[in-house]
Amino acid sequence: MDGDASRTETEGVEEHGLGTQVRSTVSRLYRRFRSERPEGSLGDAALDVLLRLHKSGPQTLTELSEYGHVAPASMSQSVNRLTSAGYAVRTPDPDDGRKVRFRVTAEGAEVAHATRTQRHAWLDAHLRGLSDEDQQAIAHACALLSRIADS
């Protein structure tokens, strides 16, 4: 890293605090990462639900609401978008016939896979473009942030 960039980063830490810088950077990176998706894809909320169903298997509305930290009414809108688009279907719960589970369809699995592939390719390409020194710095920062997250 050149001296000017290093000095600017240090000044930002001193002026705003390291916590502010970490929160801001992680938030911006997360928003940018989420913006990577196939053309004409679903909105953020429905896409998050689709990715969850694809990764974790069938879920009830309550499970999805708890995972997404949203009210069941809000989650209902997302799953309705997915079922209307043919990306998910309602199925009876095998343990409790009164409950409904949502599961991803083959078409939904394709969208989820394409989204993950595009997001990962975007991030991996940017990381590969960094110097070995910068890649090592990010790896070290990730280890430290993981330790904080696990505390």
Q: Encode pLDDT of 36-54 as tens digits.
A: 888 776 888 899 999 999 9
From residue 75, alpha-carbon distances to 105, 119, 146 in Å are 18, 24, 29
48 three-class SS = helix
pLDDT band at 98 (very low <50, low <70, confident <90, very high): confident
In angstroms, rounded to a whole number, what is the distance separating the alpha carbons of residues 41 and 68? 19
- With tokens 């710095």, the residue in question is 137
Beta strand spans in 1-151 (E): 59-60, 88-92, 100-104
The whole-model pTM stands at 0.76
